[in-house]
Amino acid sequence: MSNFLLVEAALLCLDMDLVGLSKLYFDLPSRTIKACVKDKSLFVPCEDEQRLVKPLEVQEFIDKACAKFELGRAFVRPSGTEDILRVYAEAKTPGMADALSNEIREYLKKFA
């Protein structure tokens, strides 16, 4: 109950109703694909797994690739069980999400 009251107070302060709140968030089309690598331990994500700490060149490539697509976002993380990386990508359209994830996978082939 207290959570609801907190949300209601926040909406009041923002001069917003539930309809306005619901328009703040929307799901983007996304893709999850695998990229085979020789050694997944080379890829070290930060604590929340949304960016790579190592190798930095890979994260820089991901950032540049995301900038090419409207609302593009992506991250790579090592699988917990296989020598693969999981590539998560989202963008404004399904085609853009596919293109972004495939561009990252193609780049990662040099680590296979």
Q: What is the pTM of this model?
A: 0.80
Residue 91's pLDDT band (cuts 50, 70, 90): very high
Find, among 56, 86, 88, the residue nearest to 72 by Cα. 88
pLDDT at residue 1, rounded to an integer = 67
pLDDT per residue over 8-54, tens digit each? 888 889 888 888 878 887 889 999 999 999 999 999 999 999 999 99
Q: Which residue has the higher pLDDT, 83 or 90?
A: 90
